[in-house]
Amino acid sequence: MVDAVCGGVVIEILKEPKELARVRGSIFAFADAIGHVAEMGGSGFDGFVILMESPQLSTHVVDELALSMNRTLRPEISDRLRLWICQKGVVEGRGLDDGSLSDREAEIAEAVLERVGERRMSRGPVGGDATFEIQKLAVLQWMQDGGAMTPGWITHHSGYSYPTVSKALKSLEESGRDVLTRHSGRKGVELSRFPLGAWAWILSRANESRETIRFVSEGDPRPPKALLDRLRRANFSHVAVGGVDGARRLLPSLDLFGQPRLDLTVHARGMRSRDEQREEVAEIVSRLDPALMPVQSAGQAASLVVHFLYRKTAFFEEESGLQWADSAECLLDLHELGMESQAEQFLKSHPMATR
Amino acid sequence: MTDQCEDWISPKGVISEVAAAVPSECLGNIVIVGSLAAGYRFFSGDAEQYLIQTKDVDCVIRPRIAALSAGKEVTEHLFEGGWTYHPTEEFPEPGKAGDEKLPVVRLKPPTGGGWFLELLTVPEDEDDFGRRYLTVETGHGHFSLCSFGGIALTEFDPLPTPEGIAIARPEMMALSNMLHHPEIGEQRMSGLFAGRSIKRSNKDLGRVLALAYLDERRDADALMDWGTAWKAGLRECFPETCEEKAHRAGDGIRALLESPDDLEEAVHTCQYGLLASMSPSFEALQAAGARLVADAIEPLESTS
């Protein structure tokens, strides 16, 4: 993915790459693009650069990759492709270059790093997916047999405006026949039954709307119980346990042996920016296991999964020195784990589901 | 350059052999340190499954006041039991009276094997942090007992063994190495390590990672106890300078973790040394380092 075009140079920035395959993939993507431009007869750009910011690969490995790149690729491609490394603010070339950049290249590197840094800082405040959050809140209220919700109650606990709440409820109402009961006067609305259609939509949006991040240990993974013990010691008030642990707390007879991973829900409503959100997660993860890193490729089994909750009131419950996520979050986590029969068992354990 | 990786040995077997050879009245004066002690601590239940690669069996003679007498008695007893002097290029034979420089006590067992026993001792006091030599005169030649500052930690609360000889605690050996290398030095080992030239600091700090990896593998929360043990050990061994030492104890490990090239060298020494039986990945040892910093080093720094 191109991060910047500057001074006729196309640049992709790889932040702290750890796997050679990731760098190699970028090289071949660029090589393909250069070859394509050449075949079209276009002059294209002056050069293509893969800039590795604080790589977690040894310089020896990167140099070997650069040499291999120069041996493997056609000269008209390899001559225009460069690998740069930025360590502690100093940028240098690797491979056949002598290491130092020309003045023009150094200016380009500085400008691009500055621009990307500003872009990372300027991402907007955290808001969340309003319809997703409001409908999930309605499901939670139904699962807990909480009764009717007035518009004021929903706007207060969701943190979204009245028009936004109205729109979300209308969408919920249209998801299935007689799914929403509107009481007369100021009594508000409530779900008449479990909203299968809306829940299917919620499930389809869950990964994106909860901005789920999966972590895998670089070394031998710490058992989920060890992570849980550390979470208890860390005493975060805005981090709750969900997933299998959260479901088991509410339903000890949940038909499941073992503990596949730890699911956490982070209350992100008060966070001012994506950067703050990321820093918060980094802090949580480092307290649980500093060896945990975001999953880079499909197929890696996560040992820790973090989801964000954006409504105003978290509805976390405190017990045994931990905060616990609500039933709706736990149900989503079970679905996300692919535990459909356990999800069904968990849902049916709520009194409203059997009426 | 010679390659320093030698034969595979069974930690339990070698400790039994050493314990049987040393005069019984001196067993209490010896603490085994280094990879043999670590191997015994972590692998002794799996003697057949886990072997380690090492050539030197380091024995610390303690306390300092008994170093001369116990060192002399152990050396003479081993020679009389058929152990032989292990020559080096610099010292092809034992020293004699009047020699300016003396060899350390390095003896090969009569049963053969690719290893030798080496005697060390602890420093006289906490200001004596550099490398020092104490002359031991025996009927089989003159030798020196080497001491250096951090090794004092290895005699702190050592672990007894059924063989009657104590082994140093892994966390204390780790701290000893960490204090010895507050940064990545440029000095390289005299020989090759599994075919490669290795910086001394990378080898010693790599050992710290290996010990952390093994203890964390035994118990996910084990490293959380290291900081507490370190604090007690530093207070006992370095009462005057314990706080200063606590604050800089993690410098070398942090420098290693921030330098991919040096870390890769350290991993190489683990994969062909203490951890040869399991050959953990680069990432696994990097993870052990990150956990060591979070669980042990940061608490030590924050409470000292």
Give the model confidence (pLDDT) of B126-175 as tens digits: 887 788 899 999 999 999 999 988 899 999 999 999 999 999 999 999 99
Residue ranges making up the domain that contains B123: 8-153
Longest dimension (CA), chain B: 54
Whether residue A289 lies within 8 A of chain B, CB to CB, comes out as yes
Task: Write down the pTM of the prediction.
Answer: 0.71
**Could you say which of B220, B264, B293 has the minimum Cβ distance to residue A223?**
B220
Shared domain check, B221 and B140: no
Q: What is the mean pLDDT of residues B241-268?
A: 95
The CATH number assigned to the domain with range A4-121 reads 3.40.50
Residue among B213, B261, B290 minimizing CB distance to A60:
B261
Residue A124 pLDDT: 39
| Residue A119 in this model has a pLDDT that exceeds 80 | no
- Asked if B220 and A59 come within 8 Å (Cβ–Cβ), the reply is no
Closest CA to A331 of A319, A316, A347: A347
pLDDT at B99 over 80: yes
User: At which of B122, B153, B184 does a domain end?
Assistant: B153
Per DSSP, chain A holds a count of helices (H) and strands (E) of: 13, 14
- A8: left (phi > 0), else alpha (psi -120 to 50), else beta? left
* A85 in B contact zone (CB under 8 Å): no
Answer whether A219 sits within 8 Å of B288, measured CB to CB.
Answer: yes
Alpha-carbon dihedral angle through residues B162, B166, B171, B173, given to the nearest 10 degrees: -140
* Residue where one domain finishes, among candidates B92, B121, B153: B153
| Distance between start and end Cα atoms, chain B | 43
For A88, which residue in chain B has the nearest alpha carbon? Answer: B258
Q: What is the pLDDT of residue A125?
A: 43
- Contact state of B294 with A220 under an 8 Å Cβ cutoff: no
B133 and B78 inside one domain: yes
Q: Which of B147, B150, B162 is nearest to B205 (CA)?
A: B150
B134 vs B13, B25, B68, B87, B238, CA distance in Å?
30, 22, 8, 19, 21
Q: Are the beta carbons of A60 and B288 separated by less than 8 Å? A: no
Which phi and psi (to 5°) does residue B147 adopt? -135, 155
Query: Are B16 and B110 within one domain?
Result: yes
pLDDT classification of A298: cutoffs 50, 70, 90: low
Mean pLDDT within A298-322: 92
Contact A291 B213 (CB under 8 A): no
Residues in A closer than 8 angstroms to B265, CB to CB, are: none
Name the residue facing B294 among A217, A219, A290 (closest C-beta).
A290
Q: Are B2 and B46 in contact (CB under 8 A)?
A: no
Instruction: Mark yes or no for CB contact A58/B261 under 8 Å.
Output: yes
Mutate to test the interface with B, among A16, A218, A285 (most CBs of B within 10 A): A218
> pLDDT band for position A85 (50/70/90)?
confident
When pLDDT is cut at 50, 70 and 90, the band that residue A126 belongs to is low
Nearest CA in chain A to B223: A289
Q: How far is A59 from chain B (nearest CA, A)?
A: 7
Distance CA A288, CA A187 (A): 45
Q: What are the structural domain ranges in chain A?
A: 4-121, 125-355
Give the three-state DSSP class for A183: coil
CB contact under 8 A, B290 and A290: yes
B182 and B87 in a single domain? The answer is no
| Residue whose C-alpha is closest to residue B147's, from B161, B162, B160, B135 | B135
How many domains does chain B contain in total? 2
* Nearest Cβ partner for A290 among B281, B285, B293: B293
Q: Is there a single domain that holds both residue B260 and residue B201? A: yes
| Res. B117: pLDDT tops 80 | yes
Distance from CA of B78 to the nearest CA of A (A): 43
Rounded to an integer, the average pLDDT of A305-327 is 96
Q: Please tell me the distance in Å from A101's CA to the nearest CA on chain B.
A: 22
C-alpha span between B67 and B82 (Å, rounded): 22
Confidence of residue A170 (pLDDT cuts 50, 70, 90): very high
- Strand, coil or helix: A130: helix
206-235 in A: which are within 8 Å (CB) of B? Answer: 217-220, 222-223, 226, 229
Lowest pLDDT segment from A159-163, A295-299, B185-189: A295-299
B281: which chain A residues are within 8 Å (Cβ-Cβ)?
Answer: 219
- Is B147 part of a structural domain of the chain? yes
Q: Do residues A325 and A244 lie in contact, with contact meaning Cβ atoms separated by under 8 Å?
A: no
If asked whether residues B215 and B243 sit together in one domain, one would say: yes
C-alpha B122, offset from chain centre: 12
Cβ-contact A51, A86 below 8 angstroms:
yes
The residue-averaged pLDDT of A119-131 equals 61
- Please tell me the predicted confidence (pLDDT) of residue B140: 95
**Minimum mean pLDDT range among A68-77, B56-65, B187-196, B227-236:** A68-77
CATH number of the domain within which B139 lies: 3.30.460
Residue A122 has pLDDT above 50, yes or no: no
A222·B220 Cβ contact <8 A: yes
> Are B174 and B142 contained in the same domain?
no
Q: For the residues A78-83, what does the mean pLDDT come to?
A: 82
Q: Name the band, by pLDDT with cuts 50, 70 and 90, for residue B191.
A: confident
- On whether both B149 and B175 belong to a single domain, the answer is no
User: Would an 8 Å CB–CB cutoff place A86 in contact with chain B?
Assistant: no
Question: Quick check: ipTM above 0.90?
Answer: no
Q: Could B264 and A58 be called an inter-chain contact, meaning their C-beta atoms sit closer than 8 Å?
A: yes
Beta carbons of A60 and B287 less than 8 Å apart: no
DSSP H helical segments within chain A, as ranges?
A: 20-39, 59-72, 75-78, 103-121, 130-143, 151-158, 162-173, 196-209, 224-234, 243-250, 274-288, 327-336, 340-348
User: How far A105 CA sits from the closest chain B CA (Å)?
Assistant: 25
The verdict on B184 and B261 lying in the same domain is yes
- A95-109, A152-166, B188-202: the lowest-pLDDT one: A95-109
Residues A167, A174 contacting (CB under 8 angstroms):
no
Confidence of residue A121 (pLDDT cuts 50, 70, 90): very low
Choose, out of B282, B293, B295, the residue to mutate when testing the contact with A (most A CBs < 10 Å).
Answer: B282
Per the listing, tokens 């140093």 go with B168
The encoded tokens of residue B263 equal 């870390």
Which among B153, B185, B201 is the end of a domain? B153
B287 and B207 inside one domain: yes
Search chain B and give the residue with CA nearest A293: B287
Best of A54, A64, A215, A220 to disrupt the B interface (most B CBs within 10 Å) is A220
B248 and B116, same domain (yes or no) = no
Give the pLDDT band (50/70/90) at residue A11. Answer: confident
CB contact under 8 A, B294 and A287: yes
Average pLDDT over residues A238-253: 96
Q: Which residues of A touch B302 (CB under 8 A)?
A: none
pLDDT of B46 above 70 = no
Average pLDDT over residues B32-45: 89
| Residue A196 touches partner B, C-beta closer than 8 Å | no
Collapsed DSSP state (helix, strand, coil) of residue A295: coil
To the nearest whole Å, the CA of A18 is away from the closest chain B CA by 9
| Whether residue B116 sits in one domain with residue B23 | yes
CA A168 to chain CA mean position, Å = 24
Residue of chain B nearest A225, judged by CA positions: B220
